[in-house]
Structure 1
Amino acid sequence: MNLQLIRLLHLASPALPVGAFSYSQGLEWAVECGKVANESAALGWIRDALHFALARCETPALIGMMGAWKAGTPAEALRLNTEFIATRETAELRSETLQMGYSLARLLRDLPDTPDALRGPLSSGQELAYPLPWAAAAAMWQIDETEAAGTYLWAWLENQVMAAVKLVPLGQTAGQRMLAALAPDLPALAAEACRRADDEDWENFTPGMTLASCRHETQYTRLFRS
């Protein structure tokens, strides 16, 4: 087992103190209104978000930022960060990525092996989306882009499935079935994300997810912050 794999497990771990577990990205509203009421519907909702949002916008942004960090051009990484924040369509989605970005950047600044070339931009005071410090960590640890993309997608997928298990609710076995069903999609989606790393190729057209997030902002009872 090599160190890069250990680093990837670190970044994908639900123990990473960024608060990802507290967000459902509109799934909670979809359950509340009856759009997602069983395992099959949850699987369909999560698959669509994975294919049409994560693989076409958020993960490509991550890979673009990784390239900028590896090239030693933090100004370009910060430019892509600004572009990505502009793709967040609702107040909750924007707050989510900024809160998680802030938490991960603070963690990286506190790690003793973080080089000054990364520590400085992460301390700039600029609003930081979650993919930016994640990409900085992946670049610092010399992780391959395709492996980073697959790991980022897996971490998102696991969090969404666990949210569905709590919300629908579903049993733990149902959650494992969904993970097993969607895991084979990740290699191709990771490759697609790497092909879309140029910000001209990002695509973020997910009206159903956006409307669910908007409705969640005024939902009366909530377990999740998005």
Structure 2
Amino acid sequence: MIAADRAPASREVTSGAGLLPLVRLLQLASPALPVGAYTYSQGLEWAVESGTVRTEADAAAWIGDLLEWNLARFEAPLMACQLGAWTAADDGEVARLNEDFLASRETAELRAETVQMGWSMAKLLAELDAFAALPGWRARLLAVDTPCFPTAWSAAAAAWQVAPEQAVAAYLWAWTENQVMAAVKAVPLGQSAGQRLLATLGAGIPPLAQLALHLPEARWSNYTPGLAIASSRHETQYTRLFRS
């Protein structure tokens, strides 16, 4: 009976081998990824301190605007192009986009954030057997000068053969989840409010992922002055929970 019960499960495991890229993607999008994302609020903490974000609705508006006008129109398209460049072995393009992203960080905190997370991600990937087993990937990633977070993250997604559409959606989701959890702590909001925010904001991610995938570089834009102001003000904020 026991052997008979186990047979169907064995067949299910075999037929699910193609799910490995999805499993790897879940790993990349997990808040357990040891890159320190939870320590950053990207100016949200100052928005709370200043009274701009006081309620669940305020948090939804703040995070939703940044998701649509910053992430989906600059960071996510850039990451998607890096994903393609990694796959095509165009390391020059990867480096160019990495430099562009570093130059786009408006404040010292935002630049320090992506540099620290990029370094942590690159270090993690260099130590993972699942990543190092792919010829050339470790050396290519470590050859990038000051890799930012999208650069290291896209390298992993490319190495693990994650579909671009899924990679972009997961990247947007991971950022959104981190922002919501920052709001839960800083406003503060309850856990149920956090889940409502994720449900509402998550519903908008599929069309934003499509936008990011098809937006030509000439139309990329991270013009969000509210974020730049909040981040710069946060640098001198007296009491802080977050590093940005």
Q: Which range, TM-score by smaller chain?
A: over 0.9
Q: Distance in 2 between matches of 1:167 and 1:130?
A: 24
1:16-165 to structure 2, matched below 5 A, reads: 16-113=33-130, 114=132, 115-124=134-143, 126-165=145-184
Deviations 1:103-129 (CA, angstroms, capped at 9, x unpaired): 000111111232342211322261111
In structure 2, the residue corresponding to 1:92 is in which secondary structure? helix
Which protein has the larger Cα radius of gyration, Structure 1 or Structure 2? 2
Look up the equivalent residue of 1:95 and give its one-letter code: A
Aligned residues: 225
From the superposition, tell whether residues 63 and 125 of structure 1 become closer, same or farther in structure 2 (CA, over 3 Å): closer
Contact 1:80 1:199 in 2 (8 A): no
Shift of 1:16: 0.5
Matched, 1:205 2:228: no
What is the Cα-based RMSD across aligned positions, in Å?
1.1
Cα distance in structure 1, aligned partners of 2:152 and 2:59: 30
Aligned partner of 1:218 in structure 2 is 236
Is the CA contact (8 Å cut-off) linking 2:95 and 2:144 kept in structure 1?
A: no
Give 1:157 deviation, angstroms: 0.5
The question of whether the paired residues in 1 share the 8 Å contact of 2:67 and 2:176 is answered with yes
Cα separation, 2, equivalents of 1:38 and 1:128:
36
Question: Is 1:192–2:211 an aligned residue pair?
Answer: yes
**1:13 Cα deviation from its structure 2 partner:** 0.6
Distance 1:144 1:5 in 2: 9
Tell me, yes or no, if the aligned pair for 1:65 and 1:132 is still in contact at 8 Å: yes
Compute the TM-score of the two structures, normalised by the length of structure 2: 0.90
- State the Cα deviation string for residues 110-153 of structure 1 (Å, max 9, x = none): 11232342211322261111000110011011111111000000
> Given that residues 65 and 77 in structure 1 are in contact (C-alpha distance below 8 angstroms), is that contact kept between their aligned partners in structure 2?
yes
- Contact 1:29–1:219, Cα closer than 8 Å, also in 2: yes
| CA positional deviation for 1:47 | 0.3
Deviation string for 1:19-47 (max 9, x for gaps)? 00000000000000100011110110000
| Preserved contact between residue 64 and residue 199 of structure 1 (Cα < 8 Å) | no
Which residue of structure 1 lines up, in the alignment, with residue 13 of structure 2?
Answer: none
Where does structure 1 differ by over 6 angstroms across 4 or more consecutive aligned residues?
A: none
Task: Rate the CA distance shift 1:100–1:3 in 2: closer, same or farther, 3 A.
Answer: same
Contact 1:122 / 1:133 at 8 angstroms: preserved in 2? yes
TM-score by length of 1: 0.97
- Give the Cα–Cα distance (whole angstroms) in 1 for the partners of residues 181 and 128 of structure 2: 29
Alpha-carbon separation, structure 2, partners of 1:209 and 1:177? 23
